[in-house]
Amino acid sequence: MLDFHCVRTVCPYCGAGCHLLLEVLDGKLVGTLPCKEDPVSDGKLCAKGWNAWRYVEHPERLRTPLLRRGSVLEPVTWQEALEFLAAKLWGIREEHGPQAIGFFASAKCTNEENYLIQKLARAVMGTNNVDHCARL
């Protein structure tokens, strides 16, 4: 017997925050549906919302951080990638000062994640250079 159910969630693609239903068949994501009771989208989705499920199992989806070594991008652990990034940021800050660093947040992050990015910029790195892709 097939196991089919829907999981209600929020579209991750823009700040409109349309609710959508993820269609799950035998434990695998197979589609999205608009959520008729959602007052934001009024039961409609744009092309991004309708296709929001497709990247999950896409064969070219990046599933691990990549670090450039010479001309080659090598898969590394999150720990390795974050340590590399922290060392680079602190090195730039020490050599050129905090104003040499800027943080660019994303509409694909949650409000809480965007809050943490500006907190990292201001409280940890000492810069007010924070911007957001929604201003472009």
> Nearest to ligand SF4 by Cβ — which residue?
49
Under rule CB under 6 A, residue 133 binds ligand SF4: no
Q: Does 43 help bind ligand SF4 (rule: CB under 6 A)?
A: no
Q: Which stretch binds ligand SF4 (CB under 6 A): 6-14, 62-70, 89-97, 110-118?
A: 6-14
Pattern 45-84, binding to ligand SF4, x per CB under 6 A?
xx-xx-----------------------------------
Q: How far apart are CA 70 and CA 54, in angstroms?
A: 32
Contact 35, 43 (CB under 8 A): yes
Choice between 17 and 75, CB closer to ligand SF4: 17
Binding of residue 18 to ligand SF4 (CB under 6 A): yes
Say how far apart CA 82 and CA 65 lie, in whole Å: 9
DSSP string covering 57-125: T-TT---S-EEEETTEEEE--HHHHHHHHHHHHHHHHHHH-GGG--EEE-TTS-HHHHHHHHHIIIIII
> Which residues contribute to the site for ligand SF4 (CB under 6 A)?
11, 13-14, 16-18, 41, 45-46, 48-49
